[in-house]
Structure formats: structure tokens, C-alpha cells
A and B are shown apart, each in its own frame.
Chain A
Amino acid sequence: MEPYDEEQLLRNLDALLDLADPVPADLVERVKFAIEIEDIDVEAARWERSQLAGVRGDSPGTITFYVGDLTVMFNVTRTGESHRIDGWLVPAGEHGVEVRVAEHGSTTTTSDEGGRFVLTEVPRGITQILVRMNGGTPRTVVTPTVVL
């Protein structure tokens, strides 16, 4: 065979890129869902990814997301066809918590003074969590979607 020249290498890489490292099939839909929110001035939180590795399987456990000084930890328990979410917010306080699930609308609650919140009957699926922080300057924190 002929040795690779630069143009040929690039053509081969072009053919290979989408085969070897395809954009996940549902990613565009997940992005559209994630940005389909009423709040515009949002801070994007980050998932603690090492914990998420196990979440995509059958046994959700405790997972964490954070941005700036806010950390939110929650425990997911399967209850029949849905989930129960027990969460803790730091810094503690009465903040709005909204859980959006694709094709299932959203569930909202408010954390108590200690930063605890509970949501029951949360449908399973592509999930995004929003925290609306009161006190000082109001802030809205949103997570990337995750499949729960």
C-alpha cells in the first residue's frame, strides 16, 4: 500500500471520527431539554462524576453536584416506577428545589432551614435539578441532565 500522505491521513481520520467517537445519540435531545428552562441567568452545576458511574445502572445511590459555594447531595431510592429523593443543601437554608424529568413535567419543593428536602414520586428518566437560592442575590443553579 502507498504510504499515508497528509491529505489522505486527514480523509481517513474524517471517515473514522464519527465511527470511533460518535456524539452520543441522545445528546442533542438532552441539551435541548436542559436549556428549555424559564430562567436564563443560570449557573451550571457540575456532577461529581465518579459517583455517577454507578447511577446509570439499576441502583441509584448518593450523588452530589456543586457550583461555587453550593453543594447538593442527594440519595435516590427506587419506589416502584418512580423515585424518592432525599437531599441536603449546603449552605443550608430555605431554597426552592425543582426536579424536571423529560416528558413528565416537574416536581418542586422547598428545603427546610437545615437544608434538607424530600421529593417523592419523582418519575424516572432524563432528569435535571434546579435550585433557586434565596437570600442575598437570588441565584438559580441548574445541573446537566442525568438519567435516573
Chain B
Amino acid sequence: MGELGTTSTGVPWDGLQGTERHAACLTAARAGNSAALDVLVAELTPLVWHVARGRGLDRGTAEDVVQTVWLSLLKHLDRLEQPRALVGWLITTTRRESHRTWQRRTDHVEFTPDVVEQVPSIEPQPEAVALREERDRQLWAAFGQLSQRCQELLRLTVLAGRAEYRSVAEALHMPHGSIGPTRGRCLTSLRALLDEDGGAR
């Protein structure tokens, strides 16, 4: 009787957050609930996008990779042993698919993932057009000069810090408020690049 007064929509992920929410959606999607799959797509596409972009793919290629990753999930819906591992699976699959795309674009030259990660992004940052503040343009330009490894890590750190991406923080074991030594080094590099730029801070 008490339930009559609630606004619950009756979906299994209702009221859940973070990893619990995404695991509940995945479980429902496996049972054929397409609304559950749509929730995952809507909420986790930005994550897949930023991993692909953090791996140095241009925007057009990243759009393709995002779709490829979700198509792969269709195939793996029943094979993912742990619904709670979805976010980790998405990150790993996006990295792998980005790497594959990279290999093809670099004319079949074999790069190990480690080498690719260290290469500065070859993508200029044309999106900076959208930035009106000089200070924002400088920060974005400096960010674009970081190694791909740092760019991806900082994108993920930013996402993991947002309330709606608690599952990302959980998948990457990033406790709230903790930056960690590798991220710290990336931020130090970023600060050094900003200082080189004339110290307009």
C-alpha cells in the first residue's frame, strides 16, 4: 500500500546510482529490455567518446569507434560475466578499437600500444574555436600537447570526479579527491606547458 505514494517507475535501475545502476541496466538489457540498453547508451556514451578522443582519434573516427563499441556490446551482452564490470569493459574495448583504427591510419606500421600512448596527439585542437576566453584557449592548447596517455588519463579523471560517473571512479579505483602519482605527473606537465606559454594564468 505504501508503494502507491511513490513515484517509482518500476524499472529495476530506478533510484540506483553508479555501478549498481549500470549493472541493473545490463541485467535488464540481457533479458531483452531495450529501454535499459538505451539508458546505458545515453549515460555512458560520453565515457566511450572521451576514451576514444583521449587516444588521439579525430572526431569523425571517434564517432565510428563509439558505435563499434556499442555494437560489440550487443554481441557480448550475454558473455560479460560480471554486469558490474561493464564500465571497465567499455574502457578496454574502446582502447582496443582505437588502437586498431590507429594502426590502420598509420599505414600498417606496427606500433605497440605503449609507443602510441607516448606520441603527442597528432590532432590539432580545432574545437578551440568554441572557446572565447583566452585562458580557456591556453589551457586547451596545452592539454593538446600532452602525451596521449596523459590526455586520456586526465579526461577519465575529470569524468570520474562527476557525480553521474561514479561507476567510472569505481571501475578505475579512483577514490574521490585522490589524484594519484601518475595523474599528478600529467598535471605537472600541463602546468609546465602553461608556464611556457607566457605565464598568463
A binds B: yes
Min distance, Cβ A19 to any Cβ of chain B, angstroms: 6
Residue in chain B with minimal CB distance to A67: B68
The interface centre, meaning the residue of A2, A34, A53 with most chain B CB atoms within 10 A of its CB, is A34
Known: A1-B201, A19-B130, A28-B45. A52 touches B60 (CB 8 A): yes
Min distance, Cβ B91 to any Cβ of chain A, angstroms: 16
| Contact present for A20 and B128 (CB under 8 Å) | yes
| Contact present for A44 and B136 (CB under 8 Å) | no
Residue-by-residue, is A1-34 near B (CB-CB < 8 Å gives 1, otherwise 0)? 1111011011011101101111110011011101
Tally of contact residues, B, Cβ under 8 A? 50
| Contact present for B63 and A24 (CB under 8 Å) | yes
Query: When chains A and B are docked, how far (Å) is the Cα of A31 from the Cα of B128?
Result: 26
Min distance, Cβ B153 to any Cβ of chain A, angstroms: 11
Number of A-B pairs whose CB atoms are under 8 Å?
115
Query: When chains A and B are docked, how far (Å) is the Cα of A62 from the Cα of B155?
Result: 36
| Contact present for A44 and B201 (CB under 8 Å) | no
Residue-by-residue, is A22-61 near B (CB-CB < 8 Å gives 1, otherwise 0)? 1110011011101111001110101101001100000000
**Residue B171 lies at the interface, judged by CB distance under 8 Å to chain A:** no
Min distance, Cβ A109 to any Cβ of chain B, angstroms: 22
Residue in chain A with minimal CB distance to B59: A24
Query: When chains A and B are docked, how far (Å) is the Cα of A37 from the Cα of B34?
Result: 11
Residue-by-residue, is B141-173 near A (CB-CB < 8 Å gives 1, otherwise 0)? 001000000000011011001100000000000
5 A-B pairs closest in CB distance: A144-B67, A44-B71, A44-B68, A144-B64, A14-B158
Which residues of A does B touch, CB under 8 Å? 1-4, 6-7, 9-10, 12-14, 16-17, 19-24, 27-28, 30-32, 34-37, 40-42, 44, 46-47, 49, 52-53, 142, 144-145
